[in-house]
């Protein structure tokens, strides 16, 4: 496929650093759109604020770059008022689960028919490397120079518990898996979350050398320390320390928002 069919060439070069994983995730999204043959006019790509959230600017869809953390709420309005629109939200870990955490769990609870791709780099990239809700305890950030005292969220488990139809985690290294999960998400009704671990050498790697300092080292770390969820289920918590659990967390057929709301409309019209 030709990526240029989907990119706004005149917006290049992009802002992402050398070794950033975000571009790898974007390519997975584009490959999947291409594979499914979606009409670009019928795709809305929506983001909040962050390095990851700059994605929409580069892509030739209907693109909306909203306020920090709020992309899912804008997307909710788009999807409800134009259900035909393929509605994809891209979000950073901070965007989706700190400031946008409330919208995240509620979009999942409603099982709103939106695809959310989270570019999880465990840090606030755009603002220079402050802690995010997924920065592991003890790791370093510009606001945790002596080690992060907080406990991290497990985004995929959070989405699963909150009611999403489909949840999977992949890494930038495992791009073929990412493609597969994004395709599963795009084909499915309801709230579908694909969390992709995306290296941020600039803001995270430099400070946390255990994962590697530069992009390719961080990709290697993802390769070596990822554990498929089926295997992880048989492992002890100590064995899973510093591992990345990947795979499909949940894939369930439950009614999405529209199934319920269409019933509401039917009942209202009978009155």
Ligand X SMILES: Cc1ncc(C[n+]2csc(CCOP(=O)(O)OP(=O)(O)O)c2C)c(N)n1
Q: Is 17 an interacting residue with respect to ligand SF4 (CB under 6 A)?
A: yes
Residue 118 belongs to what H/E stretch? strand 115-120
Q: Which of residues 201-240 bind ligand X (CB under 6 A)?
A: none
The alpha carbon of residue 169 and the mean position of all alpha carbons in its chain are separated, in whole angstroms, by: 9
Do 108 and 65 contact (CB within 8 A), yes or no?
Answer: no
Q: Which of residues 150-169 bind another protein (CB under 8 A)?
A: none
The alpha carbon of residue 182 and the mean position of all alpha carbons in its chain are separated, in whole angstroms, by: 10
Q: Is 30 an interacting residue with respect to ligand SF4 (CB under 6 A)?
A: no
The alpha carbon of residue 191 and the mean position of all alpha carbons in its chain are separated, in whole angstroms, by: 12
Q: How far apart are CA 50 and CA 116, in angstroms?
A: 15
Q: Which of residues 102-131 bind another protein (CB under 8 A)?
A: 102-103, 106
Q: Is 48 an interacting residue with respect to ligand SF4 (CB under 6 A)?
A: no
Place of tokens 């009155």: 271
Q: Is 132 an interacting residue with respect to ligand SF4 (CB under 6 A)?
A: no
Q: Which partner in another protein, ligand X, ligand SF4, none is near 127 (CB below 5 to 8 A by kind)?
A: ligand X
CB-wise, 4 or 15, nearer to ligand X?
15
Among 40, 180, 207, 243, binds another protein (CB under 8 A): 40
Q: Which partner in another protein, ligand X, ligand SF4, none is near 122 (CB below 5 to 8 A by kind)?
A: none
* 3-state SS record for 193-249: EEEEECCCHHHHHCCCHHHCCCHHHHHHHHHHHEEEHHHHCCCCHHHHCCCEEEEEE
Q: How many residues bind ligand SF4 (CB under 6 A)?
A: 12
Residue 158 belongs to what H/E stretch? helix 155-162
Q: Report the Cα–Cα distance between both ends of the chain, in Å, rounded.
A: 52
Binding mask 112-151 for ligand X (x = CB under 6 A): -------x-x-xxxxx----x-------------------
What is the binding site for ligand X (CB under 6 A)? 49-52, 68, 92-95, 119, 121, 123-127, 132
Applying CB under 8 A, the residues found at the interface with another protein are 11, 40-42, 44, 46, 56-57, 60-67, 70-82, 84-85, 102-103, 106, 261, 264-265, 267-269, 271
């Amino acid at each position: 496929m030709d990526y240029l069919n989907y990119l706004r060439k005149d917006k290049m070069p992009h802002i992402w650093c050398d070794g950033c994983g975000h571009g790898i995730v974007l390519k997975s999204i584009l490959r999947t759109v291409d594979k499914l043959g979606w009409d670009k006019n019928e795709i809305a790509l929506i983001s909040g604020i962050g390095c990851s959230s700059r994605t929409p600017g580069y892509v030739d869809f209907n693109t909306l770059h909203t306020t920090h953390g709020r992309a899912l709420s804008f997307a909710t309005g788009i999807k409800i008022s134009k259900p035909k629109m393929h509605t994809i939200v891209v979000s950073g870990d901070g965007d989706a689960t700190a400031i946008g955490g409330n919208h995240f769990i509620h979009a999942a609870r409603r099982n709103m028919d939106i695809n959310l791709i989270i570019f999880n780099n465990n840090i606030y990239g755009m603002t220079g490397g402050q802690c995010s809700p997924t920065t592991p305890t003890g790791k370093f950030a510009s606001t945790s120079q002596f080690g992060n005292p907080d406990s991290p969220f497990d985004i995929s488990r959070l989405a699963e518990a909150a009611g999403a139809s489909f949840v999977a985690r992949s890494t930038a290294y495992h791009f073929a898996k990412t493609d597969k999960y994004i395709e599963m998400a795009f084909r499915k009704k309801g709230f579908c979350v694909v969390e992709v671990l995306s290296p941020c050498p600039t803001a995270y790697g430099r400070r946390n050398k255990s994962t590697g300092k530069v992009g390719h080292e961080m990709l290697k770390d993802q390769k070596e320390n990822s554990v498929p969820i089926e295997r992880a289920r048989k492992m002890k918590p100590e064995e899973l320390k510093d591992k990345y659990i990947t795979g499909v967390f949940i894939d369930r057929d439950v009614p999405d928002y529209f199934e319920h709301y269409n019933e509401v409309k039917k009942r209202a019209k009978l009155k």
